[in-house]
Amino acid sequence: MNSFLRSPRKRFAPIRVFSLLLVAVLLCFAGCKDSLKNAFKVEDPQLKPIETMVQQNVPLGSTQGSVLEFLSARGYPTDNPTEPDTIVGIIRHIDTEKMQPVTARVTFYFDKNGKLKSIDVVRTMNAPIPK
């Protein structure tokens, strides 16, 4: 049977199926954008080890107590937060390739239930190690 003799609904069925699949994939990526954004937020290669360490030890959904325990156990000082529902930690790391210290101000953002929803890692000046 000639394809032009088929009804228009049957002729465009593959296009409809493809369109629906494309919309479903786009919706999936739209829903995952926050977790993808948090996973690859830092572009500075010297800050990536700090971001990775934080994400491994206090994953999204951790409590404020877990974050404070993580910072305290490693001797990282906290700083005064500028926003509510945040904890700011100052994390000093040694870049093993360049043998230089790297210091980051890590801001932990919490939702209304006190669960970690995102982090922000920003390079700061290297201060002398407190004695």
Helix (H) or strand (E) holding 36: helix 13-39
pLDDT digits (tens, 9 = 90+) for 112-131: 999 999 999 998 877 666 56
Please say whether the beta carbons of 79 and 91 come within 8 A.
no
Neighbours of 108 (CB within 10 A): 25
Interval 22-56: pLDDT, tens: 555 555 555 544 444 444 477 788 889 899 999 99
pLDDT digit string, tens, across residues 68-95: 999 999 999 999 888 899 999 999 987 7
What is the amino acid identity at position 40?
A: F
